[in-house]
Amino acid sequence: MITAVVFLPLIAAIIAGIMAFMRHGADEHRSHSIDRLSQWVTCGALLLSAAGSISIFFDVALGGNSYTYELMTWIDSGTFEVSWALKVDSLTAVMLIVVTGVSSMVHIYSIGYMHHDRHVPRFMAYLSLFTFFMLMLITADNLIQMFFGWEGVGLASYLLIGFWYHKPTANAAAIKAFVVNRVGDFGFALGIFCVFVIFQSVDLDTIFAAAPGHANDTLEVFSVEFDALTIACLLLFVGAMGKSAQLGLHTWLPDAMEGPTPVSALIHAATMVTAGVFMVARLSPVFEFSDVALAVVTIVGASTCIFAATIACTQNDIKRVIAYSTCSQLGYMFFACGVSAYSAGIFHLTTHAFFKALLFLGAGAVIHAMSDEQDMRKMGGIWKLIPVTYALMWIGNLALAGIPPFAGFYSKDIVLEAAYAANTGVGTYAFYMGLLAAFLTAFYSWRLLFMTFHGAPRADEKTMAHVHESPMVMIGPLLVLATGAVLAGWVMYDNFVGGSVVQFWGNAILVLENHPALENARYVPTWVKLSPLVVGGVGIVLAYIMYIAKPDLPARMAETFRPIYLMSFNKWYVDELYDKIFVRPAFYLGRQLWKVGDGTLIDGVGPDGIARAVRMLARRVSALQSGYVYHYAFGMMIGVVTLITWYLFTSAG
């Protein structure tokens, strides 16, 4: 069962990939049928895979039958042994549902969205390939296999961001995503090495079993002693930060919106970016033994949460707003993990996957309707024209803002409550940042809604005349996701974070006795429970005032608080800062190494220089050949004399 779930997408990807080659040069009718066939194959495989995941969820998560399915030995070198194995426990089962569920919906949605594209089989192949790597990542039973999936999703992400490779911005964004992720992956790789140094193994079960024994180990780095587990955890967390776009390594995510919208929904909202959260939760038996690492996770998560939310308030590109929102929500998940409420983080991950995918796909439907317009300033007044999409976007936003009874309400509240209940400095910091971010979330969500759907139409007439509801093949998946966004919260609350939490998660997540944040979350004061809802409401009202009641207010405010506005609008100048600190010096260094180092020095002395020297020597040698017999005879005599003299001096002497 689990092998089918994991490998069906791979098989589909290979078949669709072959079709992509077959399509090349085929006539119109034939290429159309190839497109259809590739869509059938990939969507069919994903739906089967999703069905399998649901059955696994019931068996493993609800039935409590976790197992590891060994495929084969991968690397066997001395004491270093790594196998291909699929580890299935509650955590994996939950992720399986999220990944295959969202992925299959996105696959179906893509049939409609990519209708006009000339590279349908290639797109479907990439999507399925991504799904396979993601499944490989979440079913990994050792760190190396996880790294394999980790790099694989990075590759698929790169391919899909740059899917429209004729667009320079798409190429730049793809490269940026890849390079920034490389920083994180480097940390991850170092983390794996570090783990191997400590545990002599990369096998998860072995590590988890041995972790308590290594709690007080130290590791010498640059002749300074550090707590070994802290080092390992922090390095691994750097990897998570890269993949999950946390503060510092977040810059690639907004740019990744250059990819087709279904890609944004699948990879850059629901699944891949949550891999970091998943990793931290998966490694909870290690992270639990390092308070420092957990504190860092909390601070980074909380800071990202508020940081991204402030930026989202001023962006005008509909997808970028949602992208920053994603970034901010990932912050919630991280600080939940940071206060040892891993299950709350995964809970938020799950609900977020549904409503964020819904929002992205809804935004895609809007963009589709507006003839590929993404700027919200050129939208407005279309809610009557596309009522279904409008309603679905409402559901998504309600869930995002945490309004009951939508899914986000449950998960975000438990995250905030756990942060408060942690009763530590960083926990409290996270709580207040999260609360502020919740206010901003509600504000920018409704800002998005109002700007997109309400007010006077700001698009030109041709576009407005063309505005139309999306086809059923696109609306259908949205309805499924909307159902999830509405129901996922209260259906799963009890199992994920409520009373059945211990038996549901089983051994998948470890929380030490001295980290009782989730336990205590139930007993927080009422004002803590209510405050997220209140600030959410205030945010919505504020958005209403600014964008419906007094539409001239935002401009005036931007004028009044110009520095703050500019700061937010320009994304806190992080990109500019990186450009100055890393990109330009790197380019300069590269150019110097290329022109001076390689061109002048290595080529000059090496290949070119040697070639020049050879030619010169050749000319000299040829010049000896004068053609005169007496020169030649003289040469021979000299030769004999030289040989005899040399002999007399070396041997006979």
Partner 1 sequence: MPLSEMPNLVPALPELFLAVAILALLMIGVFLKSDTADNAMRTSRQIWMLSILTLVLTALLVLTVSGERLYTFNGMFVTDQFAVFMKILILGGAGLTLLISRDYLEMNSMGRFEYGILCIFATLGMLMMVSANDLISLYVGLEMQSLSLYVLAAFRRDEQRSTEAGLKYFVLGALASGMLLYGSSLIYGFSGTTNFTVMAEMFAHGGDYAPSLGVIIGIVFILAGLAFKVSAVPFHMWTPDVYEGAPTPVTAFFAVAPKIAGLALFLRVMTGPFGDLVDQWQQIIVFVSIASMVLGAFAAINQTNIKRMMAYSSIGHVGYALIGLAVGTETGVYGVLVYLGIYMFMTVGTFACILCMRRGERMVEDISDLAGLSKSQPLLAMALTIFMFSMAGIPPLAGFFGKFYVFMAAVEAQLYGLAVIGLVTSVVGAFYYLRIIRVVYFDEAGDPFDKAVSRPIAFVVTLSAAIMVFFILYPALLLDPAAAAASALFGG
Provide the binding-site residues for partner 1, judged by CB under 8 A.
Answer: 614-615, 617-619, 621-622, 624-625, 627, 629, 631-633, 635-636, 638-640, 642-644, 646-648, 650-652
Distance of closest approach, residue 651 Cβ to partner 1, in angstroms: 6
Nearer to partner 1, 79 or 651 (CB): 651
532: nearest Cα among 423, 402, 427, 410: 402
Cβ-based neighbours of 647, under 8 Å, separated by 6 or more: none
Residue 274 DSSP symbol: G
Name the CA dihedral angle for 583, 585, 588, 592, rounded to a multiple of 10 degrees: -130
Nearer to partner 1, 553 or 617 (CB): 617
- What b-and-e string marks burial along 278-306, b requiring 16 or more CB atoms within 10 Å of the CB? bbbbbbbbbbbbbbebbbbbbbbbbbbbb
Distance of closest approach, residue 619 Cβ to partner 1, in angstroms: 6
Using CA atoms, how far apart are residues 435 and 429, in angstroms rounded to an integer? 10
Distance of closest approach, residue 609 Cβ to partner 1, in angstroms: 14
26 token code pair: 């085929």
Using CA atoms, how far apart are residues 345 and 162, in angstroms rounded to an integer? 30
Using CA atoms, how far apart are residues 652 and 257, in angstroms rounded to an integer? 85
Nearer to partner 1, 425 or 635 (CB): 635
Nearer to partner 1, 384 or 620 (CB): 620
85 token code pair: 């194995």
Distance of closest approach, residue 650 Cβ to partner 1, in angstroms: 7
Using CA atoms, how far apart are residues 536 and 517, in angstroms rounded to an integer? 23
Nearer to partner 1, 557 or 617 (CB): 617
Distance of closest approach, residue 628 Cβ to partner 1, in angstroms: 9
Nearer to partner 1, 582 or 646 (CB): 646
Distance of closest approach, residue 602 Cβ to partner 1, in angstroms: 18
Distance of closest approach, residue 28 Cβ to partner 1, in angstroms: 40
* Helical segments of 203-248, H only: 204-210, 228-243
> How many Å is the Cα radius of gyration of the chain?
30
Residue 267 DSSP symbol: I
Distance of closest approach, residue 597 Cβ to partner 1, in angstroms: 25
Distance of closest approach, residue 605 Cβ to partner 1, in angstroms: 17
Nearer to partner 1, 514 or 622 (CB): 622
Nearer to partner 1, 594 or 632 (CB): 632
Distance of closest approach, residue 612 Cβ to partner 1, in angstroms: 12
Question: For residues 172 and 224, is the Cβ–Cβ distance under 8 A?
Answer: no
Task: Annotate 350-381 with three-state secondary structure.
Answer: HHHHHHHHHHHHHHHHHHHHCCCCCEHHHCCC
Using CA atoms, how far apart are residues 474 and 107, in angstroms rounded to an integer? 10
**Distance between first and last Cα of the chain:** 88
Nearer to partner 1, 600 or 645 (CB): 645
- Alpha carbon of residue 140 to chain centroid: 17
Distance of closest approach, residue 616 Cβ to partner 1, in angstroms: 10
Residue 69: in which H helix or E strand, if any? Answer: strand 67-77
CA 347, 353, 359: angle at the middle one, nearest 5? 135
Question: For residues 492 and 101, is the Cβ–Cβ distance under 8 A?
Answer: no
Nearer to partner 1, 545 or 613 (CB): 613
434: nearest Cα among 543, 348, 328, 522: 328
Q: Is the peptide bond before 554 cis (omega within 30 degrees of 0)?
A: no
232: nearest Cα among 301, 140, 143: 143
Nearer to partner 1, 30 or 615 (CB): 615
Distance of closest approach, residue 630 Cβ to partner 1, in angstroms: 9
Nearer to partner 1, 30 or 612 (CB): 612
Q: Are strands 218-221 and 80-88 parallel, antiparallel or unpaired?
A: unpaired
